[in-house]
Amino acid sequence: MKKVIPAVLIALTAMPVSAFERMMRSDCQVAFEALAGIMQPDDPKTAAMSSAIRVTPQGWCEMRGGTTGLENAQFDTLEWRAEGITRWTRDGIPPLALEVRLTGLDPDEMQGGMNTGRPNVDVEVLLRQLPDAGMIVIEHATMSNNAGDNLTVSGVFERVFLSSPSMMQVSMGSAAFKAGLVSMTLEGTHENPFGFGIDVEMRGVPQAQRDAAFDLVSRLPDGVLDDASRAELTAYAGDLPKPVGALEVSVGSERGLGLMQVGMWAYNSFEAVFIDDVDGNELDILLDGITITADWSPDAQRAD
């Protein structure tokens, strides 16, 4: 099946990449303390964690699990760098670009502390804003392990203006998802290698996982998914719980998926629970104007 990538993502890929400046330790600390003041105000550990921040030889801000204030952190290292960091430290608005790297995440801890022996996961995220266009671009958000499993997500959000705190508040109501691409390569050794919150009771029950995936694909409304893409997702579901190959899913929104549409979906879903409306149209509301294209390429030589 021919792969289809939203045109807006192709156009943005061709744009010049933001240049990252070498981070200064004082900027790392001020940026962290400002964020901590919003997320966890008056946390007594903030000062200790801030003092433990270092700058790598490559110019990244770095925090290490196991250091002061991070004794119980469930990661090895957290690194970040930004373009236009003074926008955040001085003006309280997001930088023009932000890159984050997180190493040593335990997928078992991410899924409730079970013990499966899955390898640790590393995460890399690169975000960029285009102020003139009012767009936020997820250039890539990647999860990977040393077993050969890799998941990368990219996307574009429009009608987002972050030039001031007041414009940020306005954008909360106007922001909309425009297009996205999910690419996943699976080696097949480990079930659910990224530690997603799949029902623990379904672990090790292949048919239950396949049935749940088949049910989800069948519920996707007509017009959102064409017959070819539905067949691709059905084939992927049939290879669970340890598929081997590459899955690519592109998503586009004709009008932009905004908070109002998501809110109506959430309200209808909540109401359906009380009236036991098994034929409700929650997905139709959420996916109105959305198109999905999928391509599953199994590795026939290694798949069971």
Each residue's pLDDT tens digit, 184-202: 999 999 988 998 866 655 6
CB 28 within 8 A of CB 55: yes
More confident residue, 4 or 166: 166
Cβ neighbour number for residue 294 with a 10 Å cutoff = 25
Closest to 138 in 3D by CA, of 193, 178, 167: 178
Beta bridge partners of 180: 155, 251
Each residue's pLDDT tens digit, 13-66: 555 555 788 999 999 999 999 999 999 898 889 999 999 999 999 999 999 999
Confidence check: pLDDT of 89 > 90: yes
Each residue's pLDDT tens digit, 118-171: 999 999 999 999 999 999 999 999 999 999 999 999 999 999 999 898 888 888
Amino acid at 274: F
Confidence check: pLDDT of 1 > 50: no
What's the confidence (pLDDT) of residue 135?
93
Report residue 299 as tokens.
């590795």
Whether residue 241 has a cis bond before it, omega within 30° of 0: yes
More confident residue, 2 or 138: 138
Only one residue has tokens 């940026």, namely 31
What's the confidence (pLDDT) of residue 21?
83
Percent of the chain with pLDDT over 70: 82
Each residue's pLDDT tens digit, 232-283: 999 999 999 999 999 999 999 988 887 666 666 665 665 554 445 545 567 7
Q: What angle do CA 283, 284, 285 make, to 5 degrees?
A: 90
Confidence of residue 5 (pLDDT cuts 50, 70, 90): low
CA distance to 94, 101, 167, 190, 196, per residue, from 164 (Å): 9, 27, 5, 45, 35
